[in-house]
Amino acid sequence: MRLLGNILWIILGGLAIAIGWALVGLVLCITVIGIPLGAQCFKMATLTLTPFGKTVTYGGGIGSMLVNVVWVILVGWWMALGYVVAGVLNCITVIGIPFGLQSFKMAKLALWPFGAQITNL
């Protein structure tokens, strides 16, 4: 199921979105200040490319929480909103429910990326 889900995900737009995340990460890594933000974009690109069979664990300390608050205020809320809307639209049909659940997983990561780890199941 993971392989089939990931193949369908890539064909139906996952590759384009992952490339977009990677390009934004490269642009952010041009400056020293943008490197931590670029690293989070690469994390999103990894999850966006093949979300099935991966899980996100959240942790980190007070530093991660403070940077996440700034992230949410500046960019996280509208990125997460986009993933939530995509998830709701996917969940309208029974066939789209697994894809909607993956969109919700990415919405949470887009909202709170610092201190999160992506692991394979």
Domain range summary for the chain, segments of one domain joined by +? 2-120
pLDDT of residue 94 exceeding 90, the answer is: yes
pTM check: above 0.75: yes
Predicted confidence (pLDDT) per residue in 36-49, tens digit: 989 999 999 999 99
Query: Got the DSSP string for 80-117?
Result: HHHHHHHHHHHTTSTTTHHHHHHHHHHHHHHHS-TTEE
